[in-house]
A and B are shown apart, each in its own frame.
Chain A
């Protein structure tokens, strides 16, 4: 009986909070750090209209840039941001993010059961505290030009295939690319390289560099390069989002999940330690779970959302969920050197 009243009271409070918008957050500014396509202007406007708050969206296109922005000033510059579960761990470790009040999020009930079961998703809970709300996910498959590659690539090794030399597009990101090299080398733990693994991994990545056309950071950039430069194979860091972009651009592409398993990321919304108004940040995350933003992810970005089953995956596709890497700084330092064209000896210098 008490619980019933308690729940009713909570619902009533929530109704008051969200049915009388414009009063609650007038004059406040929400600083959102998001990936392209997560906070489109029209959706932001809906939220602004509803809350009367002003939303300042900053876009980020790599995990490193994200870490830089959040960690540089102890998360004081942003209120809420989206990060994948693997990357999330170092933010929790550095106490840059704070637990989320899930009771103030009526839209959580819209999520699919596997995302509602937050204990089953590694990394988003610490004890009983919820640090992240899953928002979207994608696997990093291989996109190929069906005119140039008749048979769908079955292995990550295709990226090193000399037949596609100068026709491979690779994402400009250290952590993923080292993991990719580890998968290609058949190393047991792609996110946990042993010290003896590094030289081979670096050589493998230099080989990758020599086989690739160039690198990209944004989905649009990859689509443009793929189309205009006649690329044959693309490591799709943004997954189905890029497939959709390329199809829209009129390129006949196929999408393959390699047998080694596609790295897959699950992006979650988190609230920073520096959030000026946690209620407003929570309201933003809850809004992101509504039908409109969720559908926008699928329709505009080709990303899966957490409230409906993904149209992009096959049941037997093997996904390798991203995990925190052993030394993200080292991975990035080495990757920058590799990308700049250094030789293996110079890359491996301390």
Chain B
């Protein structure tokens, strides 16, 4: 297949179409992916903020429970007079609170006196609630949570450092991450008589928080130094308690800004260390601890695999790729059609022009079109008409020229050239058909006299009349020609096969000719005055006849023989005929 204009236009248009679709698709994908990733990061940050609020509200919930206990008159009564009945009621209240809150390890009422002796204490022991009493109660006055809480005003909450509980006899809480929240119990004089304190199971609280998150989310919680308290890898929690610290600023270096309090929240990415195989996007929020606490601040973090973030973008990428592929196909299709639309009239014109060289008429030119192709077609049409006109003229001229070349201008008879040609033909035919033929050479007698006395115009009139009489005197198939001057030739074909009979036939023709030519001629002569005089002229002819029956003789030789015979006729007194001596073989 030739690489035509249609293919070229189609290819260029297709390339432009595909390139346009591809570029648009690519940039749309990139922009959208950035937007998606940003939005995913924002969502992550929002999710972290929601979690942070839920932690705050969980803390507030504990504070409310503390205040409920603190507000009970029984609580103060127990501290003031150690009334067992009051203590029982407080214990019942503790139990009901713990039943409602599975995340509490322990609730205690601790006295400010007796070295911080526990007055009422409910522990969770293997899930069951037990009341600790008697010698099992312990002195806690040397723990910061006691002396710090006792120094607080009424209604305030104290939050201990979040540590692994090392207090012997703490039952379920022992060895587990624990946050202690406490509030002082003040008497009417405003003196702190003791405190009520709730041990919160950190894992339980975060387990609840984590339950709502997709499985691939990772939850981080650290203290103000960056030590992990909650981490997907439990071995990395409470490193300060186990001797080898694991810090959030080591795993996520950007969080240094949070620890230095230069930022309150940030979104970062980690792809080394733990995350080398599975890079994550993580949002972190620093929260100032609002209550009196040994913990000044905490950091909460949520991480999700970057793959999850990018997955959405990848889906987008696939859709984009499909759209681009579709658009490209449409572009290619349109380009092909457009290429054809442009090329078809061109092709039809080129076909038409090709046909024109075959001497046909240009057809199917899109003459009606109003565009450039229509203009081109109409130009072709005009050009075609001109060419056809010129060709017709040339044809006429050509046939005229041919006629002139082979005929005598004056008489219209074949000239010598054509006569010689025909004679050659006739010689061949005669031999083939075993016939005889005759060449008659005819010369007008005393023609020169007329020419000299009456002028060439008169001579010419005579010659024309002679030619006319010759033409009428011969059979169809025979040839009359003018050799020049007043010499004429007749070629008689298809004479009898017998030489004598043929000679007789020739003689009859010649005799008939002599008689016809001897008739008077009416010559119109133009006077000097302008008038015309009709003049009767008498003229005879002399004829030499050369017979032939085969090709042993050339036309020239035959003509020579006839010429000789004609001169014999002249010599014999004119107005007669003579046969060439060679005539009869």
Contacts and interface: CB of A to CB of B under 8 A. Distances in A.
Interface of A: 33, 58-61, 65, 69, 166, 209-210, 212-215, 336-337, 339-343, 345-346
B168 A166 contact: no
A59 B116 contact: no
B243 A65 contact: yes
Nearest to B141: A210
Contacts of A343: 135, 138-139
B139 to A, nearest CB: 4
A345 B134 CA distance: 12
B109 to A, nearest CB: 14
B142 A61 contact: no
Interface residues of B, number: 22
B175 to A, nearest CB: 12
Contact of A346 (B136, B141, B147, B170): B136
Contacts of A212: 142
Contacts of A33: 243
Interface string B87-123: 0000000000000000000000000000110100000
B147 A210 contact: no
Contacts of A346: 135-136
A345 B166 contact: no
Given A209-B142, A343-B135, A336 B168 contact: yes
B142 A215 contact: yes
B142 A59 contact: no
A214 B565 CA distance: 172
Nearest to A210: B115
Given A166-B147, A210-B115, A213-B147, A340 B138 contact: yes
A59 B167 CA distance: 22
Contacts of A65: 242-243
B3 interface: no
Contacts of A59: 243-245
B140 interface: yes
B138 A342 contact: yes
A340 B167 contact: yes
Tell me which of B136, B140, B242 has the highest count of chain A C-beta atoms within 10 A of its own C-beta: B242
B169 A342 contact: yes
A77 B217 CA distance: 31
B144 interface: yes
A213 B142 contact: yes
A18 B213 CA distance: 54
A33 B244 CA distance: 9
B143 interface: yes
Given A341-B138, A342-B169, A343-B135, A61 B243 contact: yes
A215 B243 CA distance: 17
B294 to A, nearest CB: 10
A212 B146 CA distance: 13
Given A166-B147, A336-B168, A340-B168, A210 B139 contact: yes
Nearest to B117: A341
Given A209-B139, A210-B141, A340-B138, 13 more contacts: A33-B243, A59-B244, A60-B243, A166-B147, A210-B115, A210-B142, A213-B147, A214-B144, A340-B168, A341-B115, A342-B169, A345-B135, A346-B135
Tell me which of B135, B140, B170 has the highest count of chain A C-beta atoms within 10 A of its own C-beta: B135
Contacts of B136: 346
Contacts of B244: 58-59
A120 to B, nearest CB: 32
Nearest to B139: A341
What 7 pairs between A and B have smallest CB-CB spacing?
Answer: A341-B138, A340-B168, A341-B139, A58-B244, A340-B167, A60-B243, A210-B115
Would you call the interface of chain B mostly helix, strand, loop, or mixed? loop
Interface in B124-156: 135-136, 138-144, 147
Tell me which of B141, B243, B244 has the highest count of chain A C-beta atoms within 10 A of its own C-beta: B243
A124 B245 CA distance: 30
Contacts of A340: 138, 166-170
A341 B115 CA distance: 9
Contacts of A213: 142, 147
Contacts of A61: 243
23 contacts: A58-B244, A59-B243, A60-B243, A69-B243, A166-B147, A209-B139, A210-B115, A210-B141, A213-B147, A339-B167, A340-B168, A340-B170, A341-B116, A341-B118, A341-B138, A341-B139, A341-B140, A342-B138, A342-B168, A342-B169, A343-B135, A345-B135, A346-B135
A340 B165 CA distance: 10
A308 B50 CA distance: 58
Contacts of A209: 115, 139, 142
A69 B169 CA distance: 24
A69 B170 CA distance: 24
A251 to B, nearest CB: 19
Contacts of A60: 243
Contact of A337 (B118, B142, B168, B243): B168
B168 A214 contact: no
A123 B138 CA distance: 39
Contacts of B167: 339-341
Interface in B155-209: 166-170
Nearest to A218: B240
A72 B142 CA distance: 31
Contacts of B170: 340
A307 to B, nearest CB: 27
Tell me which of A337, A341, A345, A346 has the highest count of chain B C-beta atoms within 10 A of its own C-beta: A341
A341 B245 CA distance: 28
A212 B147 CA distance: 11
A337 B135 CA distance: 13
Contacts of A336: 166, 168
Interface string B226-250: 0000000000000000111100000
A210 B142 CA distance: 7
A61 B245 CA distance: 12
A214 B147 CA distance: 9
A342 B140 CA distance: 9
B246 to A, nearest CB: 11
B253 to A, nearest CB: 15
Interface in B65-83: none
A214 B169 CA distance: 19
Contacts of B243: 33, 58-61, 65, 69
A58 B245 CA distance: 8
Tell me which of B139, B141, B142, B242 has the highest count of chain A C-beta atoms within 10 A of its own C-beta: B142
B549 to A, nearest CB: 127
A203 B118 CA distance: 19
A252 B144 CA distance: 23
A45 to B, nearest CB: 15
A337 B142 CA distance: 13
B143 A214 contact: yes
